[in-house]
Amino acid sequence: DTIMEKLKNKKWLYEQYVEKGRSWGDIAGELSTYSNKVRRAAEKLGIKSRDKAAAQSQALKSGRGTHPTKDKGHSDETKIKISEKVAENWDGLSEAEFESRRQSARDQWANMSEEDKIKLREAAIPGIQRAAQEGSKLEKYIRDRLTNTQYIVEYHRKNLIPNANLEIDIYIPELATAIEIDGPSHFLPIYGESALNKTIQSDNEKNGLLRYNGIMVLRVVQYRKTLSQKAMRDTWQAIHLELQAIAKKMPDKENRFKEIEV
């Protein structure tokens, strides 16, 4: 079955989520898509999401038992294919939809076993610390591709908007376009819920300020734990298509925000 066929198959979704106790994120990983898409498809079919307490309880049970996607004997090639989803562009993303994405990531965190949370923290924090000093791997890749394509690039641009303490990951002056690269700390409570809430608030304020001042915002959200070369190429292609469209016609102010998932 194709991804869409499985998302329309109530019996299959019910079996995976309710009977097997899998999380939306786990099912999404198998389908090479994102958890919010699976959750919305299931709810349209009448399958309700577990509340937070039930999700946490199920996650702990799953941590003690056999994980539905572990030890299936997939080849490395298959694992790579499963992990690689072409970055998707969403036209006219509303603030409600944007917050829904964030909530979906927090739900996915709640559904993780404590063991998986610890592993994610341990794996992510050193990378986040390195990224703060030298820029993320994806950010560097996008910057290099922009430069090779003859765009003038301002890296970690500050003071673009007077009296606003903003730093933009990548800014392209000729297109009045900001590119923000969001790693795990932008949507998972790796440093705790309080730090996550501050990050989300800061991101939303930055989006609003930039758009109010006539700047297009492309926000690249890195949901994957690791990135293959193909995943980075796909992300660059998605960004490049957006930049070409912006060069032809800058969107209206209310539409100057796009999110690209990777």
Query: Of the candidates 12, 47, 82, which is a domain's last residue?
Result: 82
State the greatest distance between any 2 C-alpha atoms of the chain, in Å, as a whole number. 56
Q: Are residues 56 and 145 in the same domain?
A: no
- Domain range for 21 is 3-82
Query: Of the candidates 17, 50, 82, which is a domain's last residue?
Result: 82
Query: Alpha helices of the chain — where are they, by DSSP H?
Result: 3-7, 10-14, 24-31, 35-44, 52-64, 76-83, 95-110, 114-134, 137-148, 193-212, 229-248
- Tell me, rounded to whole angstroms, the distance of Cα 128 from its chain centroid: 15
For residue 98 the two structure tokens come to 């944007």
Q: In the prediction, which pLDDT does 105 show? A: 66
Q: Are residues 163 and 245 in the same domain?
A: yes
Query: Of the candidates 82, 112, 143, which is a domain's last residue?
Result: 82
How far apart, in whole angstroms, are the C-alpha atoms of residue 72 and residue 246? 44
Q: Are residues 143 and 30 in the same domain?
A: no
Q: Are residues 135 and 224 in the same domain?
A: yes
Q: Are residues 74 and 163 in the same domain?
A: no
Q: In the prediction, which pLDDT does 127 show? A: 62
Asked if residue 193 belongs to a domain, the reply is: yes
Q: In the prediction, which pLDDT does 95 show? A: 59
Q: What is the DSSP string of 22-57?
A: --HHHHHHHHTS-HHHHHHHHHHTT-PPPPHHHHHH
Q: How many folded domains does the chain comprise?
A: 2
Asked if residue 46 belongs to a domain, the reply is: yes
Asked if residue 234 belongs to a domain, the reply is: yes
Q: Are residues 136 and 254 in the same domain?
A: yes
Asked if residue 220 belongs to a domain, the reply is: yes
Asked if residue 122 belongs to a domain, the reply is: no
| Overall pTM surpassing 0.75 (yes/no) | no
Q: Are residues 60 and 137 in the same domain?
A: no
Q: In the prediction, which pLDDT does 75 show? A: 53
Asked if residue 103 belongs to a domain, the reply is: no
Average pLDDT per block of 10 residues along the chain, 262 residues long? 84 90 82 82 89 56 42 47 38 56 69 71 64 64 93 91 86 95 76 80 89 93 76 92 95 90 80
> What CATH number is associated with residue 150?
3.40.960.10
How far apart, in whole angstroms, are the C-alpha atoms of residue 178 and residue 175? 9
The closest of 68, 75, 71, 76 to 29, measured between CA atoms, is 68
Q: Are residues 257 and 188 in the same domain?
A: yes
Asked if residue 19 belongs to a domain, the reply is: yes
Asked if residue 162 belongs to a domain, the reply is: yes
Q: Are residues 167 and 256 in the same domain?
A: yes
Q: In the prediction, which pLDDT does 52 show? A: 54
